[in-house]
Structure 1
């Protein structure tokens, strides 16, 4: 009986570490790898959903719109970037960045203009109203990150998480 049970128990696929194979040939991740993958996806989704809800409720701005303001307020020299640079830096598609910039421009938080150097590109700048919105929303964002993420991890775990996510991003964007 124990021998029969062993035959039906999934075995790792020989050429694929961490991949199990059912007797019928279907493959699936080992339990620990499935937990790692699904946990990473669920944690990222949950964190983004909670931060988005708080920013929407308290400031009327989405997490993605906040990220656009963040790139312009904190990481852009003089508060502006060419649209192409903003699209490169933001973890969003070009069309999503364009829609967010248009929405934020309508609300008076950003403005678009021709790039001074060659006049061909579009420059996106954060407005004084955008800076004020960012400053207010930043407190909510930072408090949410502390409460939902960083307060649950040691300094060593935060360092390890940063290293792991960097490896994943490098593999995906390589």
Structure 2
């Protein structure tokens, strides 16, 4: 322990921090509200379904799904169990490795994500991208990657992107 003076934020850093903090507290609720109203889904549950819907074969090992949703395995397991009870997801032993549990989106889950996605994207566009110019979007992506790298240098969003089919 040292008696060094804390590295206080300067005025611009404080303004940036408060803006980022406000975004991280206000935005999730604004984006989740329509999902709750339409389908009784949390933003996290929607994200689980979205990640599965975009995956090859519409399924992922639970560990990879946890990485793609930035969740602990225990939180993810609890949420997948809830989604499974609603018939939106199924869990099974991975065909190639019996030690791995895999989650897959069901037909009902895929139908729901297809129904919700257009309005969800419009909500994201309204609250985020309609407020920004192209340079802002580029800066947001660059800055977001830097912050994510500082939190988790192996985060899945930092991997080179594979071309989509």
Give TM class, smaller chain. 0.7 to 0.9
- Structure 1 runs not aligned, ≥5 long: 1-20
For the residues of structure 2 that align with 1:93 and 1:41, how far apart are their CA atoms? 22
**Residue of structure 1 aligned with 2:115, choices 136, 140, 144:** 136
Match of 2:8, SS state, is: strand
The aligned residue for residue 47 of structure 2 is 67
The aligned residue for residue 39 of structure 1 is 19
* TM-score of the superposed pair, with normalisation by structure 2: 0.86
After superposition, the C-alpha distances for 1:54-95 in whole angstroms (9 at most, x for unaligned) are: 110122111000000011001x11100111111122122222
The aligned residue for residue 149 of structure 1 is 128
The aligned residue for residue 164 of structure 1 is 143
For the residues of structure 1 that align with 2:9 and 2:40, how far apart are their CA atoms? 40
**Residue of structure 2 aligned with 1:85, choices 54, 57, 64:** 64
Higher relative contact order (CA 8 A, sep 6+): 2
Contact 2:94 2:101 in 1 (8 A): yes
- Structure 2 runs not aligned, ≥5 long: 154-165
The aligned residue for residue 11 of structure 1 is none
CA shift, 1:47, in A, is 1.1
CA shift, 1:26, in A, is 6.4
Cα distance change on mapping 1:158 and 1:26 into 2, 3 Å: closer
Match of 2:95, SS state, is: coil
Q: Which has the higher strand share?
A: 1
RMSD: 1.5
The aligned residue for residue 80 of structure 2 is 101
When Rg is computed on C-alpha atoms for both structures, the one with the higher figure is 1
* TM-score of the superposed pair, with normalisation by structure 1: 0.81
